[in-house]
Amino acid sequence: MELTEDEEKAHKKADRERKRQDARDAADKKKRFGLTPEKKRKLRLLIMKVAADKLKNVAQQRSEAKKHYMEERVKPLPKDFDSLTEGTYFVI
């Protein structure tokens, strides 16, 4: 079945319009789900806050591990520490 010249032009025009509409729809969809500069800034701040919290937790864990290690390894000073003289030595 052959199309007349006018029908062929109308068909091509409709095809071009459909492609343009698809492109507009894709652009609208991209805009809806894209990040605005404000959202990017908020996301960056949130990521930085989470990273700072993690670093703080790691530092606290290390401090607690160090304290626990020191408590296990170092013996406490004798209670009569003040009564020791310079010539008196004690072994830990």
Its pTM surpasses 0.75: no
pLDDT tens, position by position, 2-57 = 778 888 889 999 999 999 999 988 877 776 667 788 989 999 999 999 999 999 99
The span from the CA of 31 to the CA of 18, in Å, is 20
Handedness of CA 11, 14, 18, 23 (dihedral sign): positive
| Domain residue spans of the chain | 1-34, 35-74
Given phi > 0 = left and psi -120 to 50 = alpha, else beta, which region is 75? Answer: beta
How confident is the model over 65-84, as a mean pLDDT? 80
Provide CB contacts within 8 A for 78, sequence distance 6+: 84, 90
